[in-house]
Amino acid sequence: EAVAALYAVAYKLKFASKQAMGRDYGVLPLEGLWWAADMDSFTAARDKSAWDWTMMIMQPDWITPAMFAEACAVVQKQKGLPALDQLRLETYAEGLAVQIMHVGSYEDEAPVLQRLHHEFMPANGYAFNGKHHEIYLSDPRRVAPEKLKTVLRQPVVRE
């Protein structure tokens, strides 16, 4: 439901921007922030019940809170999506991060994250500094699981 609401508002904003401002743009990929009390639940334990998340779609800087509110109102009137009241427009500043491209099923991310978190980060003097971030470059409805492209990103700080 949350993803459907995000896409509905993202496309409404795209068309409103083009119509009202003459500024067109492509809707950007879906992104997710993931976190848990124990980050090992993403790798060793792979305990999805322990995960919390926020999904997002980046918007151009000219999209205003008023435009966002109007797009939400129009989508609510047209589609009545229950998750619309959970959407928000906010600025997200991630800072320094390490990342790797994962090609394959979402279920096969754990070994890649294990290497990133427990090998690459310590070997290069980095420590966790924020929520795990994924950028979904492929549409899972159109791409085979083994060909899905996902940027796996972890905000870090130098130790």
Q: Whole-model pTM?
A: 0.91
Q: What percent of the chain has pLDDT over 70?
A: 98
Q: Tell me which amino acid residue 149 is.
A: K
* CA–CA gap between residue 15 and residue 22 (Å, rounded): 9
Q: What is the pLDDT of residues 65-88, one digit of tens each?
A: 999 999 999 999 999 999 999 999
Of 61, 55, 54, 66, the C-alpha closest to 8 is 55
Q: What is the pLDDT of residue 37?
A: 83
Higher pLDDT, 144 or 45: 144
Output Rg (C-alpha) for the chain, integer angstroms: 17
